[in-house]
Amino acid sequence: MNVLFASPHNHMDQTSGAAISTRSTLRALARSGHSVRALTGSIFDDDSFCEEDLTRSLRRQTAERRINRFAAKLDGKSLEFRTIEFDDAGVLSTIFLADEAFAPTPSRIPPSERSAFYRYLAKELAANPPDVFTTYGGDPRILEAAKQAKKQGARTVFFLHNLAYRFPGHFAPFDAVVVPSEYAKAFYKRALGLETVVIPPIIEEESVVAKERDEKYITLVNPAVEKGRNVFLALAREFSQTLPEASFLLVDARSKVEDLARIPNALKTTNLRSIGNVSKPSLFLAETRILLVPSLCEESFGRVVVEGALNGIPVVASDRGALPEVVGDPRFALPIPKRFSVSVSGDLVPTREELAPWLGIVEKLWRDETFARETGEALHRRCEGRRQTVVERKWAEFFDNLARRADARRQ
């Protein structure tokens, strides 16, 4: 089976949950013997990401890269472009870049690059039609690519990672739309009348499970407003007085610790430290004693919960979106007052009274080692169905069925 994933969003983006999940799926398909290709552009969730960052990232992934340079005419202008080709654990990957890629633009990608990317994709589809064409993202031009692939006999799949889509026509060219949770399935059925398939994301355990643990911190990944950074900071401040031995850790992702500078005294909390984005979650999970996921947004899944579970780390999350589904125990899926939402001011901080449920359970997990260990072990058991081998089988079965339908369509 020949699978092609294509999107102007870069599939190597380590700050994007959608990219991480997609890349893991493609690598799993390659391991199972399928021919898998990825053609992506220069859109990264992290606005500060530059070409030097990309080069360093690729060096960590592979020693061999081939760079092709060529010119193309757009709107009467001759422009220079490059492709970077490499093998990502069996996924034949191509990154398409304009010479001005990563230059600051309102859309984070030069318009010339975006147009040239879709021209390049159309030629690739004509020259090497896939059995299955996959993508994600909101650019309407990707729909034309899906239609082209479908005319050539391919099955088309949309990876729907979030709850942001509001137009059902966006999914018309796709034979299947995959969502990561039952919550997301119900959401899109209710909001758009859209039928979807539920398959959790693949969590690559080699990069997630820590070989040795030194439990030091209460951790939050991605210090963004929507991920509950202000709840986390308020907890850190409260515990600096009542539980001074507890230390809190912020891990950069799409949002940076530097973004907290606008919050008065946010970084002056003595029990708080931060680290930059890491290549493997195991690096910070090895030092995590309790993992907090106080999201204000309606999460479509919550992969960090599973990452914690695989390490036996107790996780306390909010009750927003799919988080209660993934956590699987209402004692550890706690409410956050409705006045806290993604749209409110970024400097809104909860009161001690509003934090009371969080303060109580986090303090108990910190002080009671037996309770913490049993909580982490129970979460680990509940997430057995989201283990890498289990989920890879689900994805393999899904794509095998698609390939058989693609063969039938071409006959």
CATH of span 205-386: 3.40.50.2000
Taking CA atoms, 148 is separated from 7, 133, 154, 173, in Å, by 15, 10, 9, 9
Tokens representing 156? 């088309």
3-state secondary structure of 209: coil
Identify the CATH class of 2-203+389-410.
alpha beta
What is the β-pairing status of strands 2-9 and 288-293?
Answer: unpaired
Tokens of 234: 């308020």
User: DSSP secondary structure string, 91-160?
Assistant: EEEEEEEETTTTS--TTSS-HHHHHHHHHHHHHHHHHS--SEEEE-SS-THHHHHHHHHHHTT-EEEEE-
CB 327 within 8 A of CB 383: no
Rounded to whole angstroms, the Cα distance separating 98 from 117 reads 9
Over its length of 411 residues, how does the chain's per-residue pLDDT go in tens digits?
899 999 999 898 888 889 999 999 999 999 999 999 999 988 887 766 666 777 777 777 666 889 898 887 776 677 788 899 999 999 999 999 876 555 544 445 556 677 888 999 999 999 999 999 999 998 899 999 999 999 999 999 999 999 999 999 999 999 999 999 999 999 999 999 999 999 999 999 999 999 999 999 999 999 888 999 989 999 999 999 899 999 999 998 654 455 555 555 554 566 888 888 787 999 999 999 999 999 999 999 999 999 999 999 999 999 999 999 999 999 999 999 888 887 765 678 889 999 999 999 999 999 999 999 999 999 999 999 999 999 999 999 999 888 776 566 655
Residue 44 sits at φ, ψ, to 5 deg, of -120, 145
Q: How far is CA 314 from CA 186, 228, 289, 369, 374, in A?
A: 27, 18, 7, 11, 8
pLDDT of residue 408: 63
Q: Is the pTM of this model over 0.75?
A: yes
Residues forming CATH 3.40.50.2000 domain(s) in the chain: 2-203+389-410, 205-386
Q: Name the 3-class secondary structure at 333.
A: strand
Three-class SS state of 225: helix
- Which positions ≥6 away from 210 have C-beta within 8 Å? 282, 283, 285, 286, 311
Is residue 65 within 8 Å of 58, Cβ to Cβ? yes
pLDDT of residue 267: 46
